[in-house]
Structure 1
Amino acid sequence: MAESRILIVEDEIIVALAIQEMLKSRGYDVGAIASTGQEAIEKAERLGPDLVLMDIVLKGDMDGIAAAEQIRSRFDIPVVYLTAYTDSETVRRAKITEPFGYITKPFDEKQLHTIIEMALYKHKMDKALRESESEKQLILGTLSELIVYLDKNLRIVWANKAASDSVGQPAEKLVGRRCYEVWHGRREPCLNCPVVKTIETKRPQTGETTSSDGRIWDIRAYPVLNKAGEVTGVVEATLDITQRKRARMQLERQTAVVNGINRVLRESLICETEGEVAETCLAVAEELTGSKFGFIGELTGADRFNTTAISDTGWARCKMPKSDALLMIKDMEVRGIWGMALKDDRSVIVNNLKSHPDSIGTLPGHPKITSFLGVPLRHDGEIFGIIGLANKKSGYDLADQQDIEALSVAFVEALMRKRAEQALCQEKDKAQRYLDIAGVMLVAIDTEGKVTLINKKGCELLDYEEAEITGKNWFAKFLPERIRDEVKSVHEKILTGKIQLVRYYENPVLTKTGDERIIAWHNSVLKDDKGNVIGSLSSGEDITERKKAELRLIDYQAQLRSLAVERLRIEEAERRRLARAVHDNIGQELALAKMELQSSMQSTMGLEAMGILDKVCKVLDKVMEDVHSLTFELSSPVLYEVGLVAAVEQWLAEEIRQKHGIRYKLTTKVKSKDLDHELSATVFRVVRELLVNVIKHARAKNVRVGIKELKGALSVAIEDDGVGFNVAKFTKTLRKGKKDKFGLFSAKEQLEFLGGKFRIESVSNKGTKVSMTVPLKR
Structure 2
Amino acid sequence: MEDLNEFLSKSKEWFDNLVETIRDYAKKYKESEKWFSTTLSSIGDAVIATDKLGNIQFENPIAEVLTGFKQEESIGKPLEDVFHIINEDTRKSVENPVLRVIREGIIVGLANHTVLIAKDGKEIPIADSGAPIKDEKDNIIGVVLVFRDITERRKAEQTLRESEHNLGERVKELTCLYKLSKLVENPDISFEEILEGTLDLIPPAWQFPEVTCARIVYEDEELRTENYLESIWKQKSNIKLKGEIIGLLEVNYVKKMLDFDEGPFLKEERNLINGITEILGRFAERRMAEQKLKYEKEKAQTYLEIAGTILLVLNPDQTVQLINQKGCEILEEDESEIIGINWIDNYIPENNRELIKKEYNRFINGEIELFEYTEEPIIKKNGEKRIIAWHNRALKNVDGEIIGSLSSGQDITERVKVETKLMESEEKLKNFMEAATEGFLIYDSELNLLEINDSALKIIRMSREDMIGKHILELIPGLDKTGRYNAYLNVIKTGEPFYADDVIQLPKFGGIHLSINAFKIIGGLGMIFSDVTERRNAEQKLKESEKNYRSLFENMTSAFAYHKI
Which one scores higher on RCO, CA 8 angstroms, separation ≥ 6? 2
TM-score after normalising by structure 1: 0.31
TM-score after normalising by structure 2: 0.40
- Which of 1 and 2 has greater Rg? 2
